[in-house]
Amino acid sequence: MKQKMLDLMELEKAFLKKHLRVGGTAVDFTMGNGHDTAFLSKEVGAEGRVFAFDIQPRALVSTAQTLEKEGCLDNCTLICDSHSNALSYIKEEICAGVFNLGYLPGGMNKQVTTLRPTTMQAVKAAISLLEPGGGLLIAVYPGHEEGRLEGEMLTEYFATLDRKRICVGCFKIVNSPTSPFFFTVETK
């Protein structure tokens, strides 16, 4: 019997499920086509709330279609704004959040990507919003230059955080340096 290779998406969802709870508030900081938004919506349930951000109107349309197709509850707020402005919209603690940095999957313009200054601001905001025991998953795509630089920036930043308050992990495929990788951030 052939062994199955490690599936990054399975690991990411397992991490997020550990932090998501019915009635909680979750955030998709980079909604893209809405697959993470739909996942979060189902996990927090009717009593929960999901905020989702993207700067591209096309992402909001695509996400709304995904939510409808997936039969998601009416618990999502789709916001056409930068994730760096999250604190202007979210006033409560969050149990979990997810970032998929880079560009809109299937998008026509791959020049429109997440950028280091706004990503850093959004990540800091996300950490400040985490409830005790909350978690963030941040997927990085180093196959393009800005993605590589975002990964380096986040690695340097996370190394400065107080281990007694926040635990940060990183999962990379070591023998494939341009493959996506992700950070996990958990509050104590």
pLDDT per residue as tens, the chain (188 positions)? 566 666 778 889 999 999 999 999 999 999 999 999 999 999 999 999 999 999 989 999 999 999 999 998 899 999 999 999 999 999 999 999 999 887 656 555 566 666 778 899 999 999 999 999 999 999 998 888 888 898 999 999 999 999 999 999 999 888 888 888 899 999 98
Handedness of CA 183, 86, 134, 65 (dihedral sign): negative
What kind of architecture, by CATH, is found in domain 8-187? Answer: 3-Layer(aba) Sandwich (3.40)
Give Cα 95 to chain centroid, integer Å.
12
Q: For the stretch 128-153, what's the b/e string if a residue is b when 16 or more beta carbons lie within 10 angstroms of its beta carbon?
A: ebbbeebbbbbbbbbeeebbeebbeb
| Domain chopping of the chain, boundaries | 8-187
